[in-house]
């Protein structure tokens, strides 16, 4: 039973293509392409772990240091109004964190990006797309 759950996990399935910025033994950092949310980064634990409390103290430190490092880079480059850090795992119960720059006028603000749309006419400007490219490059430099 457990085996079939793990085997069908899309975050364990290494044949699914991801835009990996960095990876180590514990986790990988990927860029998520989202037309409304440039700078969307995801940190994914490499092994199939369902809940945060299953990690050791050292692992927790490593994961949260990396999340904070990503957040700082987003703050420095993207001039976001807020950074959202979300770990849900309801659909894919494999520990991962979404790190998302948010803007007061973005498509869903103040809702989560999976919530109701509040600004249907929101269009991402080219300046943000340029900053996203720089963010990915800086994260590659800082982590590798
Ligand atoms: Zn998994």
| Ligand 1 geometric centre to CA of 11 (Å) | 5
Quote the pLDDT of residue 5: 53
- What pTM value is reported for the model? 0.93
Residue 107's φ and ψ, nearest 5 degrees, are -60, -30
| Ligand 1 geometric centre to CA of 5 (Å) | 8
Give me the mean pLDDT over the 99-105 stretch: 98
| Ligand 1 geometric centre to CA of 36 (Å) | 27
| Ligand 1 geometric centre to CA of 109 (Å) | 30
| Ligand 1 geometric centre to CA of 103 (Å) | 31
Give me the mean pLDDT over the 20-25 stretch: 97
Non-local (6+) Cβ contacts of 28 within 8 A are 18, 20, 22, 43, 44, 46
| Ligand 1 geometric centre to CA of 115 (Å) | 25
**Domains of the chain (ranges plus CATH)?**
2-143 (3.30.428.10)
């Amino acid at each position: 039973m457990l085996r079939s759950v793990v085997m069908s996990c899309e975050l364990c399935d290494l044949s699914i293509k991801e835009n990996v910025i960095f990876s180590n033994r514990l986790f990988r950092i990927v860029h998520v392409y989202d037309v409304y949310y440039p700078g969307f980064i995801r940190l994914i634990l490499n092994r199939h772990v369902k809940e945060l409390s299953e990690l050791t103290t050292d692992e927790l430190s490593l994961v949260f240091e990396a999340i904070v490092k990503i957040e700082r880079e987003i703050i420095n480059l993207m001039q976001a109004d807020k950074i959202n850090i979300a770990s849900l795992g309801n659909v894919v119960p494999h520990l991962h964190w979404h790190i998302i720059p948010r803007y007061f006028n973005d498509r869903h603000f103040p809702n989560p990006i999976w919530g109701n749309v509040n600004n249907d006419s929101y269009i991402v400007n080219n300046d943000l797309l340029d900053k996203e490219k720089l963010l990915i490059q800086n994260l590659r430099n800082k982590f590798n």
